[in-house]
Amino acid sequence: MPIDLLPSVEHFLSRRQRLLIGGQWVDSVSGETFDTLNPATGQPLCAVASGQAEDVDRAVQAARAAFPAWAALMPAERERLLRRYAELLERHKEELAQLETLDNGKPYQVAYNVEVNVAIGQMYYYAGLPTKLKGETYAVSSPGYHVYTRREPLGVCAAITPWNYSLVMAVQKIGPALASGNTLILKPAEQTPLTAIRLAELALEADLPPGVFNLVTGYGETAGAALTRHSEVDKVAFTGSTEVGKAIMQAAAGNLKRISLELGGKSPLIIFDDAELELATEAALWAIFANSGQNCVAGSRLYVQSGAYEAVIARLAQRATELRVGPGMEANTQIGPLISQQQLERVLAYVHSAEGRIVVGGERWGSVGYFVKPTIIGELSDTSRAAVEEIFGPVLSVFRFDTEDEVLARANASRFGLAAGVWTTHLGRAHRTAAALKAGVVWINTYDWFDPAVPFGGMKESGYGRELGTQVMDMYTELKSVWVKIE
């Protein structure tokens, strides 16, 4: 049964969406717009302003003008404003979940019960950080000196966010940037701009000063590229593909702006013979099929020890065929569509060229929208494209292994290093594998859990820098050393 749209969501979709610059909603300089599509139907949801270089420059100048007063604001006052912002997110939870589902396609129950709650929790966490910034004093070996450090905001920050978790990833950057005393320009993925626009509206309602939070919607090659190379942007925070992350690194060289990158992954999940197999198999199922596999930490490489392999792959195949595929706004949907026709074609191309055996799935679901059946591929070589490259869809590659040393070597033989998972009841093995795996986060006997207090980020070509935790504040502040001669 379809979930009824809220009147506020219907009203939101009835308008043409604009840019937020300096506290004012404005059209793009060019007047151009683009349609954002419902991936469950392929039909337009509404028209959105297409920002370009001139609009980016206007937003940067507004953020630059607002920076001195915002940076000088008492930390307790920034906390008050950000807490009010978090309260507004909580008040509009249902609305945000519906917009996320319509624009991204994910099941509404997931958007409402998980993702919006994650975003709200993150904003409350960041709201408490302005008064927690601190420096240190040092016992230097030069007599007559008092030496200390200060944490100071960088200035104007740009946040470029992805389409797979558009609300959560936006809040994950808005919160620490503003808590640190920076001003911000948010550029959401062109495929999913709607929750970002609503976040901008709620920022105004929270009484954030004009220019502190600006929004420029548009395409990556125009608005996004203009932000990354702008000489008055002091920091770029990006979540997305490794290829785009490399381009941002090159663009940032112009003024040596700070960057933090959370990029692609091809995460291994390892199940040993001694694991609780029923729990491990269910975790492996959702590690890849949650959000239709469009997840940077998706457990897309499953390694199962030989003694458990047949039982695990049989159970996975059964469960995969039981998952309910359909539009996100249907109440019983578990697996929604992919984000676009382009992504649909990309995923199916990987499946059709796979060298292994298609255990289940491997086909488009339905004829409307961008759906792919949950797919499991076995008997792949470690060097096949489906085993090596990030597919970003509901496609699981399953491998057999014999020994601990063997599987660790194979799991680490990837250019990515974002996440990994291990299922075992052997305590020593759990800690050994956690230490040996080259990944920014390792889950033991669980998968895909996050908390605002725990830092997150990748190794190797999965990026660098950390989000979440108090460590994220290092990415949005400058460390200044102060020497005071007291004798």
Contacts of 22 (CB under 8 A, 6+ apart): 58, 59, 62, 65, 66, 210, 211, 214
Tell me, yes or no, whether 456 lies in a domain: no
Tell me, yes or no, whether 1 lies in a domain: no
pLDDT of residue 2: 87
Same domain membership, residue 245 and residue 158: yes
What whole-number distance in Å separates Cα of residue 284 and Cα of residue 271? 9
pLDDT at residue 355 greater than cutoff 90: no
Same domain membership, residue 307 and residue 189: no
Parallel, antiparallel, or unpaired for β 357-360 and 268-271? Answer: unpaired
Parallel, antiparallel, or unpaired for β 213-215 and 183-187? Answer: parallel
Contacts of 141 (CB under 8 A, 6+ apart): none
Same domain membership, residue 382 and residue 420: yes
Q: Of 278, 231, 277, 238, nearest to 255 (Cα)?
A: 231
Tell me, yes or no, whether 457 lies in a domain: no
pLDDT digits (tens, 9 = 90+) for 10-56: 999 999 999 999 999 999 999 999 999 999 999 999 999 999 999 99
Tell me, yes or no, whether 123 lies in a domain: yes
Are 127 and 175 in contact, with CB atoms under 8 Å apart?
yes
pLDDT of residue 378: 95
What whole-number distance in Å separates Cα of residue 207 and Cα of residue 211? 11
Residues spanned by the domain of 316 = 268-451
What whole-number distance in Å separates Cα of residue 255 and Cα of residue 273? 52
Tokens found for residue 129: 């950080």
Same domain membership, residue 144 and residue 77: yes
Share of the chain above pLDDT 90, in %: 98
CA 470 to mean position of chain CA atoms = 18
pLDDT digits (tens, 9 = 90+) for 371-383: 999 999 999 999 9
Give the domain CATH number at 366: 3.40.309.10
Are 179 and 127 in contact, with CB atoms under 8 Å apart?
yes
β-pair partners for 477:
153
Same domain membership, residue 256 and residue 166: yes
Same domain membership, residue 331 and residue 225: no
Same domain membership, residue 207 and residue 289: no
Tell me, yes or no, whether 392 lies in a domain: yes
Same domain membership, residue 255 and residue 288: no
pLDDT of residue 24: 98
pLDDT of residue 149: 98
Looking at every residue in the chain, the average pLDDT score rounds to: 97
Q: Of 207, 211, 195, 259, nearest to 233 (Cα)?
A: 259
pLDDT digits (tens, 9 = 90+) for 93-136: 999 999 999 999 999 999 999 999 999 999 999 999 999 999 99
Q: Give the angle subtended at the CA of 232 by the CAs of 226 and 237, to the nearest 5°.
A: 65
Tell me, yes or no, whether 247 lies in a domain: yes
Tell me, yes or no, whether 118 lies in a domain: yes
Count of structural domains within the chain? 2
Catalytic center residues: 262, 296
Same domain membership, residue 324 and residue 415: yes
Same domain membership, residue 410 and residue 328: yes
pLDDT of residue 220: 95
Same domain membership, residue 69 and residue 24: yes
pLDDT digits (tens, 9 = 90+) for 148-204: 999 999 999 999 999 999 999 999 999 999 999 999 999 999 999 999 999 999 999
Are 327 and 281 in contact, with CB atoms under 8 Å apart?
no
Mean pLDDT of all residues in 323-345: 97
b/e code 310-333 from CB counts within 10 Å (16+ = b): eebbebbbebbeebebbbbbbeeb
What whole-number distance in Å separates Cα of residue 445 and Cα of residue 263? 24
pLDDT of residue 1: 75
pLDDT digits (tens, 9 = 90+) for 417-437: 999 999 999 999 999 999 999
pLDDT of residue 257: 95
Tell me, yes or no, whether 358 lies in a domain: yes
Give the domain CATH number at 53: 3.40.605.10
pLDDT digits (tens, 9 = 90+) for 266-290: 999 999 999 999 999 999 999 999 9
pLDDT of residue 301: 98
Mean pLDDT of all residues in 232-249: 95
Same domain membership, residue 307 and residue 163: no
Mean pLDDT of all residues in 357-373: 97
